[in-house]
């Protein structure tokens, strides 16, 4: 039996600072938050997705091609990708066998003799448009997600005939692409095929897949896609990637493209291309990323917008963009070993990604804004202030399902020389011959206990990430406090020794409450602060406002953070949020009045002050709908 | 020969506090700003529009219907409205006779036997869709603009056969609507027909037009249009207008609808409906209007957005919405006589509307944002940071042309009992038997000299608007200072006496520089101030930044307003902006750094302070493209 593997497995010759572990090397327990999310995904989100593929017509779209359904084509023209992503999730999770078998058989039956498979463009009415409108058609994007499902199949169930069936279908489509576009100057309007082909190369060793991925990257940026509705920068076709300094345009397109570029760069040893992807990642993080890790400031074209244009209320911050950021971060972490990529994976995971799913796992945000006002007008939105159980463009839910199903594979890296822990979660980790148990209630609790469970007579290095947000990491080994600062190198605490079973490392990542301000160029949140603790961004939500006392009946928007009242941590021990924050707020006295006034007109002193609860951002909108805000206006200091 | 009239002429029995003057009662001289704009419109903007109708295919669309062209239909499906609005502008301006004759003949020839006229839906490929998709088709919106052109024809050239030809065409279409929809429960997705039919009733006295307008108003609000892409509130179909408390949805639709509602209310004596329009106007002004008078915060659905959601950078603030606000304000001013409507007309005219046109009159903003950042990404915008000479959806330029061509008619009202001056401009005004000359360089200058030129042996009242922004209005009559405050009633200085030729009233509207703050609920401009003087909002523009000295090479976004340096007025005497402001600014020292930081981390003191020019907002983007801002961050006060 072959070794099980997860997403992103660079070949042995690839540029790589870190190596992913086998897919079964990390096991998360549901006692930890990541393990609980993974369990919820298998128990609720993934079955929900499988059901929706039937009720929303995605499977029937394919059955129309096979002649087994005569209903009309339903949904967006790339609706097949919801099937592919759900299939990928099912492979990673090892569940939903009946769906897997049904989908695999259906895809095989629907595939054209030449390998083409796209139920929208196989429709007799659309067939003549095949390959004629690449800027728009998503045909290769759809092929890419089919291939990703096949990659998951090959890595998670290498000996399973059904998995092999999916791999065969995907390879036939990939072979068609190689045959058709191997010498072409064209490319697809929505990236995804690049990373998919590179991964398929990794699975199959078939070099033409990698070459085609590299070709698509190079074809892009020469205005081969036309102006479209939003201009060539919308799909990163305005200039060659290698000449680009700033992320731009449609966020998911940009991030999927960069993921493909990293894959190609590391497999071809192209350090220049790898540097380009790092430069673009920096440009996103320096000026175009929300404090939640979300990216994308504009609704109209789902795009980045200008540098420092980060409105909390109109944050588009698409869930798929957050997932894409996580996937890109992992690729860059593997390639470079730089801690900043792991830090960002953590931020986006615990905030933008986590917020997208309801606590019951069956409702989702498409867009993850950082503010909702009283009386919010959700018309024209993809997220009307509360999570929906599905979307007409349902890219996000199955994307969440495939990420969560493979979440454990992103927690650690390693090889015979050691083990690197990047995301802390209750569970067990094995790398090379080394195994450890991780016990922690992180991110609620500051303490992480790592117990070695494998014997060794050779020294090896246990590396523990020290997040950039942590002001003071404390270490104890076998009960003895140890100086931690000296041993932190490049963001990781490196403990090199001969480890014995039972050796016990206790890492304490102190989590003071932080009041955070944005760069002064971020106009949208000037004069406001956000509350964070550890990796968690917090928010005020209407449901936590007192219904009696001085704030009773207050308009949510009239609350200001009281800078004179320090925020405190409230430990609850259990529940959805075992730890919340308590913050002092003031209610502005004069809440009405004209929209514009003389600057020097005296503002009345605050009418009331009190203390309210701030909850982790990712848990908002799990009670009755109402206003929320991450960035809280700062009350003027009293003179 | 009949009396010439302008837009909006309530019948004698209508509810009306003020009466519009005949169209030739006000003459503006090009020495004043309004007169100069009107002259520029006739000399540049309107001819430009006429040319574009040929080069962009609008006339050919109609020629396809008549069999005189075989080119493909071009532009949006409501492209006919550009013809109609340009025709309306030509009638108001009394120019472009050749175009008028050509267009009138073409419209008559293109009209179907039953009166239908819409070149998109007369196309053989689209004909079966006539009247089947009212939520989307704009058929009545197009009819409405045809009718508005006919109203202008009837009022500006009542004895001209070509004008009568246009009136006949429009009436045939209106009669078709009455026949088809007189008992219907349907309505059009884009309001305009309501005000058009009410105005056509005023011109013709034909009551069924008014009844149909009233019916369309009542039909709306019962979800007769379906959910559409953005929900029923997008086209104000979510609840009956009479039950509505807040403006919502697509701004131009909302404001055109309200204009029609005022017209119907005053003609039917429906005070309840009039009160509804005032309530909705208040809701827009209290929480959803930019300091420039622009309305509409969202690009995606061209919509209002939430209360207090007023981002300056992403202000959509469509030019047509500003024009609609002006038109609605005029209707409410006539109906109620309340000065606030005239104040708002002035604000939106001198700022949002004025900004939309380049100084040469041949380039236009679709959207009028209040901020453009360095390196602005205009992808996916309708305004990429500079004015364009036309748009694929070219609603705004001909809308500007029709407004400017009739601008003089909005300056004053009156009758035998007196004369009310609302907009101050160099020129002459006649009402009843009373005539005055107005000499002023307003808004550059504070002084307005009104000289009576007509004899009278009866007392009459000269009313002069005292804008709400003015802290101190001074009056002198025939050289003698007179107490002004006592004579101000409801926002107007009321001077009642027997006026003699040569009587000379000098009104001084003092114009201190004001630093203005927004309501604290406007998150997007917290900690920033805007500079105004008189009716003019000002802005900082990159081109005024010094290229030497301490600010050389400074990033525009790193400038802060220095609260310790009072702003001053700079008189230049002549030029495009005879008056600008000089303001103290500081350059933030640490311009780089991380996107998020601890709030209490010390911000370095400012590196440099100096004084720069702030220009009137409406003149921005007439030099090389670059950043601009109305709301300027306030430097922290030094401790």
pLDDT of residue B207 exceeding 60, the answer is yes
Per-residue confidence (pLDDT) for residue B403, from 0 to 100: 98
Structure tokens at A324: 């894409």
Give the containing element (helix H, strand E) for B121: helix B119-122
Whether the Cβ atoms of residue A147 and residue A175 lie closer than 8 Å to each other: no
**Chain A residues with CB-CB distance to B234 below 8 A:** 379-380
Per-residue confidence (pLDDT) for residue A604, from 0 to 100: 67
DSSP one-letter string for B566-606 = --EEEE-SSSS-SEEEEEEEEE-S---S-SEEETTSPPPPP
Mean pLDDT for the stretch of residues A15-36: 97
Query: Per DSSP, what are the bridge partners of residue A632?
Result: A529
Mean pLDDT for the stretch of residues B550-563: 88
Structure tokens at A531: 């509350």
Count of C-beta atoms within a 10 Å radius of residue A4: 15
Per-residue confidence (pLDDT) for residue B578, from 0 to 100: 95
First vs last C-alpha separation in chain B: 73
Where does residue A210 rank: exposed (0-12), middle (13-18), buried (19+ CB within 10 A)? buried
Question: How far is the C-alpha of B263 from the C-alpha of B281, rounded, in Å?
Answer: 15
Give the up-direction half-sphere exposure of residue B571: CA atoms within 13 A in the CB hemisphere: 7
Q: Is there a contact between B380 and A557 if contact means CB atoms under 8 Å apart? A: no
Per-residue confidence (pLDDT) for residue A529, from 0 to 100: 96
**Chain A residues with CB-CB distance to B298 below 8 A:** 299, 314, 380
Residue of B nearest to A228 (CA): B380
Higher pLDDT, B379 or B510: B510
Residue of B nearest to A297 (CA): B314
Q: Is there a contact between A287 and B595 if contact means CB atoms under 8 Å apart? A: yes
Q: Is there a contact between B309 and A313 if contact means CB atoms under 8 Å apart? A: yes
Q: Is there a contact between B291 and A631 if contact means CB atoms under 8 Å apart? A: no
Structure tokens at A490: 């490049």
pLDDT of residue A469 exceeding 50, the answer is yes
First vs last C-alpha separation in chain A: 73
Question: How far is the C-alpha of B98 from the C-alpha of B362, rounded, in Å?
Answer: 20
pLDDT of residue B607 exceeding 80, the answer is no
Whether the Cβ atoms of residue B1 and residue B320 lie closer than 8 Å to each other: no
What's the pTM?
0.95
A392 CB contacts (<8 Å, ≥6 apart)?
Answer: A75, A76
Whether the Cβ atoms of residue B468 and residue B439 lie closer than 8 Å to each other: no
Whether the Cβ atoms of residue A8 and residue A330 lie closer than 8 Å to each other: yes
Whether the Cβ atoms of residue A369 and residue A296 lie closer than 8 Å to each other: no
> How open is the CA angle A375-A376-A380, to the nearest 5 degrees?
140
Confidence of residue B214 (pLDDT cuts 50, 70, 90): very high
CA distance readout (Å), B80 to B49, B138, B142: 13, 10, 7
Whether the Cβ atoms of residue A100 and residue A125 lie closer than 8 Å to each other: no
Q: Is there a contact between A595 and B301 if contact means CB atoms under 8 Å apart? A: no
Q: Chain B neighbours among A 242-271 (CB < 8 Å)?
A: 246, 248-249
Q: Chain B neighbours among A 170-209 (CB < 8 Å)?
A: none
pLDDT of residue A602 exceeding 70, the answer is no
Confidence of residue B551 (pLDDT cuts 50, 70, 90): confident
Question: How far is the C-alpha of B109 from the C-alpha of B498, rounded, in Å?
Answer: 56
**Chain A residues with CB-CB distance to B523 below 8 A:** 312-313, 371, 524-525, 528, 631, 633
Q: Is there a contact between A307 and B599 if contact means CB atoms under 8 Å apart? A: no
Where residue A2 falls (left for φ over 0; alpha for ψ -120 to 50; beta otherwise) is beta
- Give how far the C-alpha of residue B429 lies from the chain's centroid of Cα atoms, to the nearest Å: 22
Per-residue confidence (pLDDT) for residue A120, from 0 to 100: 98
Asked if A556 reaches chain B (Cβ–Cβ under 8 Å), the answer is: no
**Chain B residues with CB-CB distance to A585 below 8 A:** none
Mean pLDDT for the stretch of residues A223-229: 93
The predicted-structure confidence for A89-113, as pLDDT tens digits, reads as follows 999 999 999 999 999 999 999 999 9
Q: Chain B neighbours among A 447-476 (CB < 8 Å)?
A: none
What is the average pLDDT value for chain B, to the nearest integer?
A: 95
Strand, helix or coil for residue A634: strand
Phi and psi angles of residue B437, each rounded to the nearest 5 degrees, phi first: -110, 135
Question: How far is the C-alpha of B570 from the C-alpha of B544, rounded, in Å?
Answer: 14
pLDDT of residue A625 exceeding 70, the answer is yes
Q: Class of B32-410 per CATH?
A: mainly alpha
A49 CB contacts (<8 Å, ≥6 apart)?
Answer: A82, A86, A89, A397, A398, A401
Per-residue confidence (pLDDT) for residue A603, from 0 to 100: 65
CATH 2.60.40 fits A412-509, yes or no: yes
**Chain A residues with CB-CB distance to B520 below 8 A:** 558, 560, 588, 603, 633
Strand, helix or coil for residue A446: coil
What residue has token string 């095929």? A193
Question: How far is the C-alpha of A246 from the C-alpha of A257, rounded, in Å?
Answer: 13
Asked if A535 reaches chain B (Cβ–Cβ under 8 Å), the answer is: no
- In angstroms and rounded to an integer, the radius of gyration of the C-alpha atoms of chain B is 25
Asked if B548 reaches chain A (Cβ–Cβ under 8 Å), the answer is: no
Per-residue confidence (pLDDT) for residue B1, from 0 to 100: 41
Strand, helix or coil for residue A89: helix
**Chain A residues with CB-CB distance to B305 below 8 A:** 377
**Chain B residues with CB-CB distance to A377 below 8 A:** 233, 248, 303-306
DSSP E strand stretches across A345-500: 371-372, 412-415, 418-421, 427-431, 434-440, 447-452, 460-465, 473-477, 480-482, 488-489, 492-497
Whether the Cβ atoms of residue A521 and residue B527 lie closer than 8 Å to each other: no
Whether the Cβ atoms of residue B127 and residue B121 lie closer than 8 Å to each other: yes
Burial A536-549 (b: 16+ CB within 10 A, else e): bbbbbbbbebeeee
Closest Cα in chain B, distance from residue A594 (Å)? 6
Domain spans, chain A? 32-410, 412-509, 513-633
Per-residue confidence (pLDDT) for residue B461, from 0 to 100: 96
Per-residue confidence (pLDDT) for residue B639, from 0 to 100: 42
Between strands A492-497 and B568-571, the pairing is: unpaired
Whether the Cβ atoms of residue A90 and residue A38 lie closer than 8 Å to each other: no
Question: How far is the C-alpha of A398 from the C-alpha of B467, rounded, in Å?
Answer: 58
What is the average pLDDT value for chain A, to the nearest integer?
A: 95
What residue has token string 């209508």? B14
**Between A and B, how many residue pairs show a Cβ–Cβ distance under 8 A?**
189
Mean pLDDT for the stretch of residues A61-88: 97
pLDDT of residue B613 exceeding 80, the answer is yes
Confidence of residue A546 (pLDDT cuts 50, 70, 90): confident
**Chain A residues with CB-CB distance to B585 below 8 A:** none
Whether the Cβ atoms of residue B621 and residue B302 lie closer than 8 Å to each other: no
Where does residue B573 rank: exposed (0-12), middle (13-18), buried (19+ CB within 10 A)? exposed
Confidence of residue A432 (pLDDT cuts 50, 70, 90): confident
Length of chain B equals: 639
Asked if A631 reaches chain B (Cβ–Cβ under 8 Å), the answer is: yes
Whether the Cβ atoms of residue A247 and residue A298 lie closer than 8 Å to each other: no
pLDDT of residue A385 exceeding 90, the answer is no
**What share of chain B in percent tops pLDDT 90?**
88
Testing the interface with A: which of B560, B595, B628, B635 to mutate, by most A Cβ within 10 A?
B595
Mean pLDDT for the stretch of residues A224-228: 94
Question: How far is the C-alpha of B438 from the C-alpha of A419, rounded, in Å?
Answer: 85
Closest Cα in chain A, distance from residue B351 (Å)? 15
Per-residue confidence (pLDDT) for residue B128, from 0 to 100: 97
Q: At what angle do helices A339-348 and A271-287 cross, to 10 degrees?
A: 50
Testing the interface with B: which of A292, A521, A586 to mutate, by most B Cβ within 10 A?
A521
Largest CA distance in chain B: 79
pLDDT of residue A400 exceeding 90, the answer is yes
**Partner-chain residue, chosen from B246, B286, B311, that has the shortest CB–CB distance to A524:** B311
Asked if A300 reaches chain B (Cβ–Cβ under 8 Å), the answer is: yes
Q: Is there a contact between A303 and B377 if contact means CB atoms under 8 Å apart? A: yes
Structure tokens at A148: 């990703």
Mean pLDDT for the stretch of residues A301-328: 96
Confidence of residue B382 (pLDDT cuts 50, 70, 90): low
Asked if B630 reaches chain A (Cβ–Cβ under 8 Å), the answer is: no
Q: Give the torsion sign (CA, A403, A405, A410, A415).
A: negative
> How open is the CA angle A159-A164-A170, to the nearest 5 degrees?
150
Q: Give the torsion sign (CA, A112, A114, A116, A122).
A: negative
Mean pLDDT for the stretch of residues A1-16: 90
**Partner-chain residue, chosen from A233, A308, A527, that has the shortest CB–CB distance to B379:** A233
Question: How far is the C-alpha of A146 from the C-alpha of A193, rounded, in Å?
Answer: 9
Q: Is there a contact between A379 and B522 if contact means CB atoms under 8 Å apart? A: no
Testing the interface with A: which of B377, B625, B633 to mutate, by most A Cβ within 10 A?
B377
**Chain B residues with CB-CB distance to A246 below 8 A:** 375
Whether the Cβ atoms of residue A369 and residue A315 lie closer than 8 Å to each other: yes
Question: How far is the C-alpha of B492 from the C-alpha of B439, rounded, in Å?
Answer: 19
Question: How far is the C-alpha of B612 from the C-alpha of B615, rounded, in Å?
Answer: 10
**What share of chain B in percent tops pLDDT 70?**
97
Q: Class of B415-509 per CATH?
A: mainly beta
The predicted-structure confidence for A248-294, as pLDDT tens digits, reads as follows 999 999 999 999 999 999 999 999 999 999 999 999 999 999 999 99
Closest CA to B331 of B430, B255, B416: B255
Q: Is there a contact between B379 and A515 if contact means CB atoms under 8 Å apart? A: no
Asked if A515 reaches chain B (Cβ–Cβ under 8 Å), the answer is: yes
pLDDT of residue A636 exceeding 80, the answer is no
Mean pLDDT for the stretch of residues B52-72: 97
Question: How far is the C-alpha of A414 from the C-alpha of B19, rounded, in Å?
Answer: 84
Whether the Cβ atoms of residue A333 and residue A414 lie closer than 8 Å to each other: no
What residue has token string 């040319």? B51
Count of C-beta atoms within a 10 Å radius of residue B225: 23
- What is the ipTM, given to two decimal places? 0.94
Closest CA to B419 of B439, B407, B433: B433
Largest CA distance in chain A: 79
Per-residue confidence (pLDDT) for residue A3, from 0 to 100: 79
> How open is the CA angle B42-B45-B51, to the nearest 5 degrees?
105
Q: Is there a contact between A519 and B595 if contact means CB atoms under 8 Å apart? A: yes
CA distance readout (Å), A252 to A220, A321, A390, B621: 16, 5, 19, 32
């Amino acid at each position: 039996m072959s070794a099980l593997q997860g997403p992103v497995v660079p070949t042995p010759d690839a540029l790589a600072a870190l190596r992913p572990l086998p897919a079964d090397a990390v096991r998360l327990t549901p006692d930890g938050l990541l393990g609980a999310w993974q369990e919820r995904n298998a128990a609720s989100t993934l079955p929900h997705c499988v059901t929706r593929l039937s009720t929303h017509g995605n499977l029937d779209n394919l059955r129309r091609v096979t002649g087994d359904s005569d209903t009309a084509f339903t949904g967006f023209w790339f609706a097949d990708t919801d099937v592919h992503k759900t299939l990928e999730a099912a492979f990673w999770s090892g569940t939903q066998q009946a769906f897997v078998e049904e989908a695999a058989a259906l895809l095989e039956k629907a595939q054209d003799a030449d390998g083409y498979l796209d139920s929208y463009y196989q429709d007799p009415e659309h067939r003549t448009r095949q390959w004629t409108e690449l800027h728009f058609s998503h045909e290769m994007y759809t092929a890419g997600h089919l291939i990703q499902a096949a990659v998951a199949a090959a890595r998670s169930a290498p000996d399973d005939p059904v998995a092999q069936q999916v791999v065969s279908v995907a390879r036939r489509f990939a072979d068609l692409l190689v045959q058709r576009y191997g010498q072409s100057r064209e490319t697809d309007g929505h990236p995804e095929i690049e990373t998919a082909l590179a991964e398929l190369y990794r699975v199959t060793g078939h070099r033409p897949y990698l070459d085609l991925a590299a070709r698509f990257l190079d074809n892009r940026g020469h205005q081969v896609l036309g102006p479209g509705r939003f201009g060539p920068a919308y799909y990163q076709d305005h200039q060659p990637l290698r000449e680009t300094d700033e992320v731009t345009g449609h966020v998911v397109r940009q991030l999927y493209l960069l993921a493909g570029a990293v894959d190609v760069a590391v497999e071809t040893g192209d350090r220049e291309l790898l540097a380009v992807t790092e430069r673009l990642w920096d440009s996103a993080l320096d000026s175009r990323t929300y404090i939640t890790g979300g990216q994308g400031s504009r609704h109209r074209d789902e795009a980045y917008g200008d540098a420092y244009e980060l409105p909390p209320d109109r944050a588009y911050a698409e869930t798929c963009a957050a997932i894409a950021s996580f996937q890109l971060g992992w690729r860059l972490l593997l390639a470079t070993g730089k801690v900043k990529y792991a830090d960002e994976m953590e931020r986006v995971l615990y905030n933008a990604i986590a917020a997208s799913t309801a606590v019951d796992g069956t409702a989702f945000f498409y867009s993850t804004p950082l503010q909702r006002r009283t009386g919010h007008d959700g018309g024209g939105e993809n997220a009307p202030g509360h999570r929906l159980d599905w979307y007409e463009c349902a890219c996000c839910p199955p994307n969440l399902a495939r990420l969560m199903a493979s979440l454990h594979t992103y927690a650690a890296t390693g090889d015979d020389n050691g083990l690197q822990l990047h995301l802390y979660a209750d569970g067990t980790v094995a790398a090379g011959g080394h195994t450890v148990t991780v016990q922690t209630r992180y991110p609620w609790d500051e303490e992480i206990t790592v117990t070695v469970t494998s014997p060794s007579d050779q020294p090896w290095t246990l590396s523990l990430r020290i997040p950039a947000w942590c002001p003071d990491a404390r270490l104890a080994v076998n009960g003895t406090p140890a100086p931690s600062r000296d041993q932190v190198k490049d963001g990781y605490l490196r403990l090199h020794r001969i480890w014995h079973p039972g050796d016990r490392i206790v890492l304490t990542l102190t989590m003071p409450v932080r009041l955070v301000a944005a760069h002064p160029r971020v106009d949208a949140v000037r004069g406001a602060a956000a509350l964070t603790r550890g990796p968690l961004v917090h928010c005020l939500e209407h449901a936590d406002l007192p219904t009696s006392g001085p704030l009773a009946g207050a308009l949510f928007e009239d609350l200001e953070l009281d800078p004179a009242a320090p925020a405190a941590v409230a430990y609850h021990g259990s529940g959805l949020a075992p730890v919340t924050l308590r913050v002092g707020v003031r209610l502005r006295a004069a809440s009405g009045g004209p929209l514009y006034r003389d600057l020097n007109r005296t503002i009345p002193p605050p009418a009331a002050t009190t203390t309210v609860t701030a909850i982790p951002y990712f848990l908002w909108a799990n009670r009755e709908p109402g206003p929320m805000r991450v960035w809280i206006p700062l009350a003027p200091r009293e003179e």
